[in-house]
Chain A
């Protein structure tokens, strides 16, 4: 499986087993096509059947099909794509940075920090102010960054990052942030509290293209920024010292990547609440399929994460008919068993 990473060449003397430009473009093209097909298909699926031909006809008055397609379904599908892509990308980066395939924004406390940042911002300033300015993702990113900072400091032992301390610290921080959110929730008035709870469970419902665009800009900037670190992420898998000896400024790369990942998680959490496990499942499956080179793994996971969350959200809004399941519940229902499977696999690798 992993041995297939790279160009397949039967030519004697030619180098094999590495990422060529052709392979890079080829894989990403396939995923882009799949994503486009997913966007179209998922927009057509829903509790109400819509007629595509009628929806695309702009001349009709009172065209409910058109309204449902373009004002309810499409923005929601696009938002799911961006959130899924962001979470998967953040997962790839965090796993690479911490050299731990179990790292995931949700598990290591980054999502919790982002949610806390967003909740505090909403309570203090009010949701309305943020809806106007589009700064809520920034507040969430700040919360994420702050929590990463705290967790990172805790995990630095004698100037060296201890990945396992970091994972533990993250899990504890997440619980702590959750408690703080509930605390804030208890203080907030009834309507605010209801809103916060619903948002925390994770929902992608939106009618606003403006919101979609705002989040898209945040995510695009962070993703390009992170893409520029991908070779260094490869080298980092040799360990801190190994990477340093190969000319990588480890501290700069870590800082840059943590900031980028925090922006992504912040953007995602600020619109959808906590949607767990996307950042765990997607990078893992992509690594198995495509190999470990982060230059391909990162953009491929972004696209696959988008596809994954669109389908998860499609299930969330259709599975029970008119009643909607929070999308976070769907991803957690997929992710929990997957995590246990991974844990078993990693465990058997380490101990036997």
Chain B
């Protein structure tokens, strides 16, 4: 929305708690999304990353705690209003019927259209642009079922763009993609961010988190362990503690970002008992 430049933050979450049955999946998490930033959410499997995202998108209601969207409680928005302000890209989308690519992207216009109507000129233009940006224009008439994982994920991203929302929530958008397609998606997100969109993305790849995110939230067992710039969060100590495995951490000579290398058993045993400092290497300047 136009007022997103105001002092109010796109998202503010305070003391969130959520349970599946008896299990506490989100345990007292407080964080905020700043205007125009890319916030990465990292953590081991089952740490609550996806649940956090679903709470923010309003699909799940927290048991305790508050979420403010642009300064107002999430609950006061209708689903339609939310659809105009938040676009969500899930990890995997299963579409039951053989819709064409264009039809899927057009679904992104749903929050702006009625139950039965034809898309107007503006809707079509927006969809056209979104498809071009995500590189799926040439797939327009293909059935969504005929696409590869990478193509399909780009179509879903185009659908999210067609919503014209200022906030994007993504759940491991690169999960099933090869490195080229994964990097292309994050490059596109980076462009969107520079145009003023605010982004929350769940990532499993710590190196990409360090490369693209302004801030990173590290989750474990539903708790927020650390929140801050990647260089401060993705450290040897934090990662080994949270993921419970040995890693090798160094600063990349080209990007200056943190690199995390998982270690095979051979090297884990070799490094055992050494000083932690030995395992974080500062690079020599190029």
Q: Give A contacts to B, CB under 8 Å.
A: 2-6, 13, 15-21, 24, 96, 99-101, 227-232, 234-235, 237-239, 241-242, 244-249, 287, 291-293, 295
Contact = CB atoms under 8 A, between A and B. Distances in A.
B223 interface: no
B173 to A, nearest CB: 14
A292 B99 CA distance: 5
Interface string B119-147: 10000100110010000000011110110
Nearest to A291: B100
Contacts, number: 131
A246 B111 CA distance: 6
A19 B163 contact: no
A231 B107 CA distance: 8
A247 B128 contact: no
Interface in B203-254: none
Secondary structure class of chain A's binding surface, majority of residues: loop
A20 B118 contact: yes
Interface residues of B, number: 49
Contacts of A245: 57, 59, 82-83, 86-88
Interface stretch (B63-71, B89-97, B193-201, B255-263): B89-97
Interface string B42-86: 000000000000100111000000000000000000111111101
Nearest to B111: A247
B122 to A, nearest CB: 12
A16 B102 contact: yes
B188 interface: no
B116 A295 contact: yes
Nearest to B84: A247
14 contacts: A2-B143, A3-B100, A3-B143, A3-B146, A13-B128, A17-B140, A18-B106, A24-B118, A245-B86, A247-B81, A291-B98, A291-B99, A291-B100, A293-B99
Interface centre among A3, A5, A246 (most CB of B within 10 A): A246
Contact of A18 (B59, B86, B98, B102): B102
A15 B83 contact: no
B141 A3 contact: yes
Contacts of A2: 98, 100, 143, 145
A38 B102 CA distance: 35
B82 A247 contact: yes
- Lowest 7 CB-CB distances: which A-B pairs, in order? A247-B83, A247-B111, A17-B141, A292-B97, A2-B98, A17-B102, A17-B100
